Amino acid sequence: MTRRLPRGSSSLWRRVAGGRVGLRVVAAVAGVLAAVRADAQPLPLKWAGDSEGGAPYVEADPRDPARVTGLDVEIAELIAGELGRRAQFVQVAFTSLDQSAARGDFDLALDGIEDTPARRASLAVTVPYYEFREVLTVRAADAARFRSLADLRGRRVATLGGTTAYELLLTAEREHGVAAVSYDDDVHPYEDLLNGRVDAVLLDNVIAERSMRRMPGLATQPDAVAIGHYVGILGPAQTQLRDRIDGILRAAMTDGRLEAILRRWLVWNDDQPRLYARIVQAAVPAPPTAAAPRASGWAMARQYFPWLLAAAAMTLVLSCLSMALAVCLGAAIAIGRVYGSHLVRGLLTAYVEIVRGTPILLQLFVIYYGLASVVRLPAFVAALIGLGLNYAAYESEIYRGALLAVPRGQLDAARVLGLSAWQTLRLVRAPQALRFALAPTTNDFVAMLKDSSLVSVLTVMELTKQTQIFATNLGSWVLPGALCAALYLAMSLPLAHLARRLEARWKAPEAA
């Protein structure tokens, strides 16, 4: 059994051992360590998946949430057993599996991961262990009229972001005029299909069948839009381990152990024996061609740049509108808390504390998904309201502080002159408070530009989400990350500059 040394330890060893000083000491210590290691248990096989994705891949065991079950869990255990190692599960968000594998956070990821050209280029990829079909699911009532993507012109079609299905939808956007909607998970697309936010979902048949079992009223079209395969992924340097795993998978295909696992999870079908026959004969099927052949980073950057710009525009528009809502509402809350009756003050204080004390992500989910049975807000509106309501709480604290910072003497002077409370607020207190509030408000606007990336969970395609998709396709974060950062800076730096100018103007009125 080979022992897996932590990454980088061999180069460290060379550096230390190469030095002349203490060479013997180092050698002696290494000898002791080697002896200790020889007695130790083999390192566990750390394998990753996302239990939020759920059955049949990886899900938290309903009887023991500390454990996971699923077909990928059983395959991981099968592989670990053959390697003579213990399978140790590592929870990693589905969208981060590629990056995490490249970083070397685990040995292997198995979670219904699709075989794509980008993955083959940037990671070590196992032979496919399952063949799936990309299928179109619609509401049962629409089954006769929405048979293919071509029937869905002008309609919203949902899928999981960063997948081959999403690429297929982007192609269909150009060819058939459908509107692609990207989700961060594979459950909400079907919920939104049922409640009418989208008109079809394109995803793996495994997921489609699972959703049809859970939600009555859906129908899946029999014809596959495309064919895909699930593979395991490893860090790009782990080709040796990958080759051993390929051998184990081929053996399990031949002796029926893989079939047994897939049958247990009700996903076995006639496509698999055909796939296995090809794999066992060492023919690895080509990854789906839906995604364009991998171009160079710069070529892809050129291709993606207009999309990033559009996403940046979405970020800017959403942030501006949300901030406008937050400023108006925040000012109203602040005024209510300074001037209101006990009851009004109590209610507003409760609002501020609840909003500040709970995560904005939870608030967005409640507004978009939680309220869907009462009011079905479009994603953009839900995002706008969610961000606006959240920021209003923070803005109100700034404005309340600013109102209280206006000196008492100013209010006395207004009072002696006979100004009413409202006139005093409007003509004296608020204009002076504005100057105290300007810098922190601008600060919050810059924060809003970045926090708006959270609304991608509501399928709003803003800058960070688009960058994520770009990075997934490219198999690297370097170029997309740099472009994304440049776009955010292009939006936030002028704002900071504007704030400084406004402040300067109000501080030196002679210049005005």
User: Does 418 participate in binding other proteins (rule CB under 8 A)?
Assistant: yes
In angstroms, give the least distance from the CB of 404 to other proteins. 16
60, 194, 419, 439: residue in contact with other proteins (rule CB under 8 A): 419
User: Does 503 participate in binding other proteins (rule CB under 8 A)?
Assistant: no
The answer to whether the CB of 224 falls within 8 A of the CB of 134 is: yes
Q: In angstroms, how far is CA 249 from the centroid of its own chain?
A: 30
In angstroms, give the least distance from the CB of 407 to other proteins. 8
Instruction: Name the DSSP letter for residue 427.
Output: I
Strands 156-160 and 179-183: parallel
Between 18 and 509, CB nearer to other proteins: 509
What stretches of 239-293 adopt beta strand conformation (E)? none
In angstroms, give the least distance from the CB of 211 to other proteins. 60
Angstrom distance (rounded) from CA 471 to CA 477? 5
Sign of the dihedral through C-alpha 384, 386, 387, 392: positive
Half-sphere exposure of 150 (CA within 13 A, CB side): 1
Task: Using alpha carbons, select from 74, 53, 54 the residue that is nearest to residue 62.
Answer: 54
User: Does 432 participate in binding other proteins (rule CB under 8 A)?
Assistant: yes
In angstroms, give the least distance from the CB of 433 to other proteins. 10
Instruction: Name the DSSP letter for residue 13.
Output: H
Per-residue contact flags (x/-) with other proteins for residues 364 to 403, judged by CB under 8 A? ----------------------------------------
The answer to whether the CB of 281 falls within 8 A of the CB of 127 is: no
359, 362, 420, 486: residue in contact with other proteins (rule CB under 8 A): 420
User: Does 404 participate in binding other proteins (rule CB under 8 A)?
Assistant: no
Between 62 and 409, CB nearer to other proteins: 409
User: Does 467 participate in binding other proteins (rule CB under 8 A)?
Assistant: no
User: How far separated are the first and last CA of the chain, in Å rounded?
Assistant: 79
The answer to whether the CB of 207 falls within 8 A of the CB of 186 is: yes
User: Does 439 participate in binding other proteins (rule CB under 8 A)?
Assistant: no
User: Does 407 participate in binding other proteins (rule CB under 8 A)?
Assistant: yes
User: Does 431 participate in binding other proteins (rule CB under 8 A)?
Assistant: yes
Between 65 and 431, CB nearer to other proteins: 431
Q: Which of residues 149-188 bind other proteins (CB under 8 A)?
A: none
Q: Is 183 exposed, middle or buried (0-12, 13-18, 19+ CB in 10 A)?
A: buried
| Segment near other proteins (CB under 8 A); pick from 31-39, 201-209, 397-405, 409-417 | 409-417
6, 8, 154, 509: residue in contact with other proteins (rule CB under 8 A): 509
User: Does 424 participate in binding other proteins (rule CB under 8 A)?
Assistant: yes
Identify the three-state secondary structure at position 263: helix
| Segment near other proteins (CB under 8 A); pick from 114-122, 200-208, 391-399, 407-415 | 407-415
Between 411 and 496, CB nearer to other proteins: 411
Between 10 and 420, CB nearer to other proteins: 420
| Segment near other proteins (CB under 8 A); pick from 263-271, 278-286, 374-382, 424-432 | 424-432
Task: Using alpha carbons, select from 457, 428, 447 the residue that is nearest to residue 390.
Answer: 447
| Segment near other proteins (CB under 8 A); pick from 212-220, 289-297, 412-420, 455-463 | 412-420
User: Does 405 participate in binding other proteins (rule CB under 8 A)?
Assistant: no
In angstroms, give the least distance from the CB of 503 to other proteins. 14
Task: Using alpha carbons, select from 401, 402, 396, 367 the residue that is nearest to residue 381.
Answer: 367
Number of residues in contact with other proteins under rule CB under 8 A: 22
Q: Which of residues 89-108 bind other proteins (CB under 8 A)?
A: none
User: Does 504 participate in binding other proteins (rule CB under 8 A)?
Assistant: no
Angstrom distance (rounded) from CA 291 to CA 168? 7
User: Does 485 participate in binding other proteins (rule CB under 8 A)?
Assistant: no
| Segment near other proteins (CB under 8 A); pick from 194-202, 210-218, 417-425, 495-503 | 417-425
| Main-chain dihedrals φ then ψ at residue 422, nearest 5 degrees | -65, -40
Cis status of the peptide bond prior to 56, with omega within 30 of 0 = yes
Angstrom distance (rounded) from CA 398 to CA 382? 24
| DSSP secondary structure letters along 339-395 | HS-HHHHHHHHHHHHHHHHS-HHHHHHHHHTGGGGT----HHHHHHHHHHHHHHHHH
17, 25, 366, 421: residue in contact with other proteins (rule CB under 8 A): 421
User: Does 423 participate in binding other proteins (rule CB under 8 A)?
Assistant: yes
| Segment near other proteins (CB under 8 A); pick from 61-69, 119-127, 379-387, 422-430 | 422-430
39, 64, 270, 510: residue in contact with other proteins (rule CB under 8 A): 510
| DSSP secondary structure letters along 118-170 | HHHHHSEE----EEEEEEEEEEGGGTTT--SGGGGTT-EEEEETTSHHHHHHH
Task: Report the 10 Å Cβ neighbour count for 471.
Answer: 22
10, 240, 303, 410: residue in contact with other proteins (rule CB under 8 A): 410
In angstroms, give the least distance from the CB of 393 to other proteins. 27
Enumerate residues 6+ apart whose C-beta is below 8 A from 486. none
| Segment near other proteins (CB under 8 A); pick from 44-52, 121-129, 314-322, 416-424 | 416-424
In angstroms, give the least distance from the CB of 436 to other proteins. 11
Residues of the shown chain interacting with other proteins in the complex, contacts defined by CB under 8 A = 407, 409-410, 412-421, 423-424, 427-428, 431-432, 435, 509-510
